Amino acid sequence: MPEHDGHFDTDLDGAEIDRLGRPLHDLRISVTDRCNFRCHYCMPKEVFGSDFEFIQRDEILSFEEIERIARITADLGVRKFRLTGGEPLLRADLPTLVEMLANIPDTEIALTTNATLLASQVDRLASAGLDRITVSLDSINDAVFREMNDMDFPVAMVLEGIDAASKAGLGPIKINAVVRKGINDHTLIDLARHFRGSEHIVRFIEFMDVGTTNGWRLDEVLPASDLVALIDAEFPLESIAPQYEGEVAKRYRYRDGDGEIGFITSVTQSFCSSCSRARISADGRLYTCLFAVEGSDLRARLRDATSDEELRTFLSSIWRERSDRYSELRSKATGDLEGLPRVEMSYIGG
Ligand code: SAM
Ligand code: SF4
Ligand code: SF4
């Protein structure tokens, strides 16, 4: 990352940089706030039940509106778009959006999905120009997985999606598992074993205190250092260098050469200092941190006479003013941060 003394406002590649010297590099785009799962840690049924008010159709950004923002952010430095949600594959005709984004030069497109609808859509997504897929799979144990998604979806359906994506040429696939002490930690070695020797890369994520509805407690967080020790005792590991500046997962490889595994230390070792991600919610609010309290309304600007140039200036000023570092502050002093309203993961897209 370039030195930043407050006088420069772009990095060497021309990207906008924020007040802490971090370039704008990734845009995570939530295409829907709806989901077919009710993971307890994200959309607990008690809150996201039948009377929950999801975003209305006319409030959701159209593909044209998303593409317009994406183009402008690419001009400001974004090199990677990630489609997320809610469950992004519930958004009708997603391959059309992928195709539109694929026309933006020098950028790549990734998707994060629970993969239950992947097998039937992946060929169209791949030919539309999707570059990479991350699949969420919290346990390879069917009973534990069904309990965690709380909608009785079987593991087999997710594995089918992963295989189909692999066949469509989208491998290696990252397999993300959120770890909750006492819920799925006894099944993690089996998850690692299942994908060892395949091209896919399992990444364990510390359970985060996003939103206010998931009943997060620090004592349910299994620190990644404990997890590394757990896996290492079964399958000896050695750490490997990050692939790029700002990579969130700590990377390891199996000493016997059977592939790679990662650990995302969102709680115990924050990575705010290299966080280069902006997020837009499905209704067009821009957030510069996963734990932000308020976003900036882009939709109103997209729907009035605001020009591209004015939007560019607006987006650029938001990034230049950015000083978020919630996780870093949380690890220093939790007290001050508790009780603040926070947006939900299913709204902002993880
Ligand atoms: N529905 C898609 C999926 O699950 O892959 C995309 C959206 S989901 C909000 C994005 C990611 O956020 C998933 O990998 C999920 O496991 C993760 N996530 C949700 N709530 C979380 C939490 N409280 N702590 C850590 N990760 C969380
Ligand atoms: Fe849905 Fe993904 Fe949230 Fe689970 S983590 S409820 S699959 S949005
Ligand atoms: Fe980035 Fe905010 Fe997470 Fe820190 S807490 S890594 S600034 S999203």
Closest residue by CA, ligand 1 atom 10: 350
- Going from the C-alpha of 237 to that of each of 48, 212, 227, the distances in angstroms are 40, 36, 11
Instruction: Decide whether any atom of ligand 1 lies within 6 Å of the 208 Cβ.
Output: yes
Q: Is the CB of 346 under 6 A from ligand 1?
A: yes
Cα of 6 from ligand 2 centre, angstroms: 39
In ligand 3, which atom is closest to the CA atom of 271?
Answer: 6
Sheet with strand 132-136: strands edge to edge = 237-239, 249-254, 260-264, 201-206, 174-179, 132-136, 108-113, 80-84, 26-30, 277-280, 285-287, 296-297
What average pLDDT does the segment 198-220 reach? 85
Domain 26-348 has CATH 3.20.20.70: yes
pLDDT category at 333 given cuts 50, 70, 90 is low
* HEC sequence for the chain: CCCCCCCCCECCCCCEECCCCCECCEEEEECCCCCCCCCCCCCCCCCCCCCCCCCCHHHCCCHHHHHHHHHHHHHCCCCEEEEECCCHHHCCCHHHHHHHHHCCCCCEEEEEECCCCHHHHHHHHHHHCCCEEEEECCCCCHHHHHHHHCCCCCHHHHHHHHHHHHHCCCCCCEEEEEECCCCCHHHHHHHHHHHCCCCCEEEEEECCCCCCCCCCCHHHCCCHHHHHHHHHHHCCEEECCCCCCCCCEEEEEECCCCCEEEEECCCCCCCHHHCCEEEECCCCEEECCCCCCCCEECHHHHHCCCCHHHHHHHHHHHHHHCCCCHHHHHHHCCHHHCCCCCCCHHHHCC
Please tell me the residue having the least CA distance from ligand 3 atom 2.
289
The whole-angstrom separation of Cα 212 and Cα 293 is 11
Once rounded to an integer, what is the mean pLDDT over residues 259-285? Answer: 93
pLDDT digits (tens, 9 = 90+) for 97-121: 999 999 999 999 999 999 999 999 9
Mean pLDDT over 126-147 rounds to: 98
Nearest ligand to the CA of 205 is 1
Average pLDDT, whole number, for the chain?
A: 91
Contact 137, 145 (CB under 8 A): yes
Asked if the model's pLDDT at residue 241 lies above 50, the reply is: yes
pLDDT tens for each residue of 287-308: 999 888 889 999 999 999 899 9
